[in-house]
Structure formats: C-alpha cells, structure tokens
Amino acid sequence: MNNSTPIYVGIDGGGSKCSAMLFNAQGVVLSQGVAGSANAARDFSKTLRSVVESVQLALINAGYGTDHMRHLQVGAGLAGACVPSVNAQLKAWQHPFANFNVTSDLVTACYGAHAGKDGALLIVGTGSSAARMQNHKLKQFGGHGFILGDKGSGAWFGRAAVTSTLEALDGLIPLSDLHGMVLNKLNINGSADLVQTMINASPSQFTAFAPDIIELAQLNELTALNLVKEGAAYLDKLCLRTLHGTSLSLVLMGGLAPSIEPWFSPVLRERIIKAQAGPEWGAMRLLQTPQLMAC
C-alpha cells in the first residue's frame, strides 16, 4: 500500500469485541483484526484502544505496517455511539487515521445486512436491539443498555440466572440445575460469595452464562426454559413492533441469534432472511453515504 492506494476500513464495535476489516477500492476484504470490547457509552477509553488495536491487527494481517494508519479512511459502527455526550467525544477524538466517521452499530449492521436497501434487524449478543431502515432513516427499538434494557440478550440471561440463583440460596424458590450451573461455573457455593463475585461484573461476564442457560433450556430444565422463553417472547414482540406496518424482511445478527430463533413465533420466522453482508461492510460503505453516519 502506498499513499495513493485507497484503503478503507469498516469497524463493528460492541460489548464483546471490536472487529476491523480492510477493504480495497472495489470492496474486496483484504484482512481482519479483532480486539476487545468497544461499547463507547460504557467504557470510552477502552473503546478507543480497541478501535486502534483492531485496525493495527488488520494492517499486520494484511502484511502492512501500522504506520499506514494515517492513510486510512475509517468508518465505524460502535455501540453507544449515538448517546449525545458520547458522540460529541467521538467527534472530538484526535484519531490516528486520515478520516474517521462514526455512527451507531445498529446503523452499520442494518445497512450491511440488507446491502444498503431498506430492511429490519435484530441484534442479540451481549446486548439486544432491533431497528429498521427506510428511506435512509433508521428507527431503533429497544437497546437501552445493560442497566435499563437489553432484555433477551446474553447479559440479561446471565444476570437473570444469577438473580434466580440468589433467590434459591435464600430459600425463596427451589434449587435447580440452572442454579447449580451458575455456582459450579464460578466455583462457589454461597450467596455471599456469589454477590462478591458478580456485584461489579461486566455485561460480558454475565454473558458467559448464556450458552449454558440455552443448553439447559434445550434439555427442558424448567428454570432455564422459563428464562429463555421469557427473553425470546420479549425479542419476538420487539421484532414484530419493528416490522409493524411494513413489508420489510428481518435479519438476525449476534452470537445468540441462532440459538434464540427456534423460540420465535411462526409469523416472525416467516419474515427472517439471511444477511447479505456484515456490519463491517456496512461501515465501510457508509463512508460513501455520509448522511447515514449522523446520529
């Protein structure tokens, strides 16, 4: 790569990881770099570190030196980027790139999933959120963050399981296999230790329980099954609200989406299609559609 060779970067940043893809002028993927979490509303400084590190890794994986960062055109979709105070900080960031445009990860994910056309999206990973894009305008549903929302997400499942375990240890509900899984996973056996271990846990730490919860639900363990049904019912309702009054198709994204889909209603599942491209592609292509980068 030289100064006259255009290289574009699309970044997808969320609660679990930050993925950067390098593209050439024809939109062909050259390489990818993956770094730590990038939820700008929860940990701004870590988000910036993850963005830079993911781009550095992508450059290295493509055989370039990290000094080429100053020539890169970067588009990013980051969780929390459209919180007004966070967006102002991101715009003021003295980034190391030639250009850096940022918007919500929902915008870039939706744009990529439907290859720039109108469509709807549900993301189910560490957090949860739905959105629809029509006439280059995005409307979000849910996705209010770990403390205030994100029901049906990996973090929500994990927190609910820990809460239920504490209730069981207090004798309010019977102990179940789900509660045993939580205690065994943390190698503890009492409520005081459980509180001490999880009181300041991050959303990603709570999400670590989610695969086990879903596996237990698939085995018809009652506590886990009820929990998964509750989360899936909320997500189903959220998606139907997102699709209401439209003929749009819905794309599911996020690490938990394939596991949750079987619990959705038939009417919703009829609207689900496969993604045409990833959020990194959406972020890269939005560099050519700057009006969509605005929060």
Reported as a pLDDT band with limits 50, 70 and 90, residue 136 is confident
pTM score of the predicted model: 0.82
SS3 72: coil
CA distance 80 to 202: 15
For strands 119-124 and 250-253, give the pairing. parallel
Mean pLDDT computed over 249-271: 95
SS3 20: strand
Q: Which residue has the higher pLDDT, 137 or 132?
A: 132
In whole angstroms, how far apart are CA 217 and each of 128, 156, 224, 225, 238? 19, 15, 5, 4, 21
Residue 176 DSSP symbol = -
Reported as a pLDDT band with limits 50, 70 and 90, residue 291 is low
Cα 219 from chain centroid (whole Å) = 27
CA distance 284 to 20: 10
Phi, psi of 130 (to 5 degrees): -125, 160
Q: Residue 172 corresponds to which tokens in the numbers above?
A: 């309010």
Contact, 33 vs 55, CB < 8 A? yes
Neighbours of 288 (CB within 10 A): 11
Ordered by where they begin, the domains of the chain are 8-115+276-293 (3.30.420.40), 118-274 (3.30.420.40)
For the purposes of burial, counting CB atoms within 10 Å of the CB of 88, is it exposed (0-12), middle (13-18) or buried (19 or more)? exposed
Portion of the chain with pLDDT greater than 90, in percent: 77
Cα 231 from chain centroid (whole Å) = 16
Mean pLDDT computed over 20-37: 93
What sign results for the dihedral spanned by CA atoms 139, 19, 207, 146?
negative
Q: pLDDT, tens digit, for every residue of 43-96?
A: 999 999 999 999 999 999 999 988 889 999 999 999 889 889 999 999 999 999
Sequence letter at residue 179: H
Reported as a pLDDT band with limits 50, 70 and 90, residue 4 is low
Q: Residue 249 corresponds to which tokens in the numbers above?
A: 């198709």
Reported as a pLDDT band with limits 50, 70 and 90, residue 292 is low
Reported as a pLDDT band with limits 50, 70 and 90, residue 295 is low
Sequence letter at residue 247: S
Mean pLDDT computed over 270-290: 89
| Closest C-alpha to 42, from 95, 81, 12 | 81
Neighbours of 132 (CB within 10 A): 24
CA distance 151 to 107: 20
The yes-or-no verdict on residue 135 having pLDDT over 90 is no
Reported as a pLDDT band with limits 50, 70 and 90, residue 294 is low
* 14, HSE (Cβ side, Cα atoms, 13 Å): 30
Mean pLDDT computed over 189-215: 95
Q: What residues have CB less than 8 Å from 2, skipping those under 6 apart? A: none
Q: Which residue has the higher pLDDT, 240 or 7?
A: 240
Q: Which residue has the higher pLDDT, 4 or 168?
A: 168
SS3 124: strand
Mean pLDDT computed over 22-29: 90
* 83, HSE (Cβ side, Cα atoms, 13 Å): 15
What sign results for the dihedral spanned by CA atoms 137, 139, 145, 147?
positive
